[in-house]
Structure 1
């Protein structure tokens, strides 16, 4: 017997948009992915998104549609105030979608959506206070406080990637210097490796030649696992700064669970072990047995699942 209502979740990324049809228990029944092409403008992207949602949900009764979007989002009014990738400003995404779909629409920051997904259906289940960090192209995050998604007074909470770890460090994409993202994101790890091999001997040089393509983050982690000293310095510095930031958050709001997601955390390496070690070293002794660090269970589906289940 078919259930009466289903949910649609959308994860809008800088490169791809994922659209999923979900049951009420967070299971993805079917999904589709397409190029974002945000440079074509919000109207064209919305039209393509509406087509995808209609095709995916044909024959199903849809309760609502939840959309996760990078950037600064006004969830109450469904507005993207700023999406830096495509320089979108004050885009009324909820209103634009509702005009064509006539469904309940919720628009939320993608990291907040992923946080909610992990808390309810992934590695955050059965926690009460949870910190989520996604380490991918950039670094984002979200906070669960007393079982609820905490977004702060202006819905801006959770910008973990832009915590300053070194005031004299490299310039971040946000314009500040020495952000965590400037050291530990996938793009930053790749960039630092490409700069480092210009003046040093490294396994990465051989890997670049052998694969006939520029160094990427996966290569850096592979070299790290092989004991390459250049890769080791880059990866362990990234892990150190992540651990320091986590230790500060642990001492600030005392979470019982920390979930690490994003493409960088998919690497089968000692990276997460190094993060755990540094975190343990930097928290006060009384905090050391109060939390656990887990790898994401949902990964690329976290924002899609979370956005669908934030429909109000």
Structure 2
């Protein structure tokens, strides 16, 4: 259904382009009457009426009937037909895969997490597709109604060419082709941080903002950017390598092979390293007994200790948060964003992270610039990425990216 519609739009068909414009308006502004829609898209009421009629016949738009108003004649309200199709989101993590599905209207229908170990073995790709098909079948979604699947992967991803340079890099075929052949539908891939950015933008507190930044503070450190209402990719699709900004003089070798990357002082891996260094030097924590027994201490253990008000864990997190806040101050000075959302694993620490971040931002940012920027914790949490995968798949399938 979407292919013929998009083909006409990409070929410059004026009618198809106007329909695309109407669908975009519904996505970003919700249902409306024909009169309000014509005003929003700057088209005459007769033209919009004709286009809406065609979109209803094609199955994209639904007439939701008369809606109550304060007085006078009640107008019919039109919007996206939720049953026009479905978009599946897949987020690949270190030891699991998160799946979700939204309808054509963008409403989240279901999400789940399945154990899954990602590696570069070709059989791993087959197992991933089995999990995706099982999710689709388990929720009784007709395969011909799945209009696209969006897959999130950490690391360097070029969503335009369909190549992932972190997993399943095969020069002959993009990962999107390898997955598409197995699943029998259109597949898009995306960097996990950019997908989470879009999820926060569309579903979180930043929906009405034109300039929004998303900080993915997890084991690594990523940045997603919404500039003038659109996801910013950069020339080669590799924008947002915030963690590899050469800010620090610590001479620590980053996992990228460079020295002094921001990630070595402002990330989950930095928190983990600094905490273990303190334990080795004799500092005391509620995790000391576990450490002395030679048992593994994970990042989750440290974050749990923060939530239980462990003094050492909070002290190290404050140091990490201060470094992160200093870097965020630089972003504020450069981008003058309306909102910055902090998500990822470290965001579970809540105010224990936000307090040092805000303190550093106050200290290092230009007040004239900073006063118009809100800094918030993610409201979507760990679901931001998979929701973003669904919604980006929809936007790409409809030709908005």
TM-score of the two chains, using structure 2 as the length reference: 0.70
How much does 1:163 deviate?
1.4
Distance in 2 (alpha carbons) for counterparts of 1:93 and 1:209: 41
- 1:171-217 deviation digits (Å, cap 9, x = unpaired): 21111122221122222211211111222332245453699843333
Q: Which residue of 2 aligns with 1:251?
A: 333
Q: Which residue of 2 aligns with 1:147?
A: 229
Higher relative contact order (CA 8 A, sep 6+): 1
Q: Which moved more, 1:254-263 or 1:182-191?
A: 182-191
* Alignment of 1:12 onto 2:92: yes
How much does 1:218 deviate?
4.5
How much does 1:121 deviate?
0.6
1:7 touches 1:63 (CA, 8 Å); kept in 2?
yes
Helix, strand or coil at the partner of 2:269: helix
How much does 1:110 deviate?
1.0
Distance in 2 (alpha carbons) for counterparts of 1:299 and 1:89: 33
Change (3 A) 1:251 1:98: same
Q: Which moved more, 1:149-158 or 1:10-19?
A: 10-19
Q: Which residue of 2 aligns with 1:68?
A: 152
Distance in 1 (alpha carbons) for counterparts of 2:151 and 2:344: 18
TM-score of the two chains, using structure 1 as the length reference: 0.89
How much does 1:260 deviate?
0.3
How much does 1:143 deviate?
0.5
Q: Which residue of 1 aligns with 2:101?
A: 21
Q: 1:181 aligns with which of 247, 254, 263?
A: 263
The RMSD of aligned alpha carbons is 2.5
Helix, strand or coil at the partner of 2:392: coil
What are the within-5 Å matches in structure 2 for residues 48-127 of structure 1?
Answer: 48-58=127-137, 59-60=140-141, 61-80=145-164, 82-83=165-166, 88=169, 90=171, 92-127=174-209
- 1:64-86 deviation digits (Å, cap 9, x = unpaired): 11111112112122111x21xx6
Change (3 A) 1:25 1:138: farther
2:279 touches 2:288 (CA, 8 Å); kept in 1?
no
What is the number of equivalent residue pairs in this alignment?
307
Q: Larger C-alpha radius of gyration, 1 or 2?
A: 2
Distance in 1 (alpha carbons) for counterparts of 2:82 and 2:384: 25
Gaps of 5+ in 1: none
2:346 touches 2:353 (CA, 8 Å); kept in 1?
no
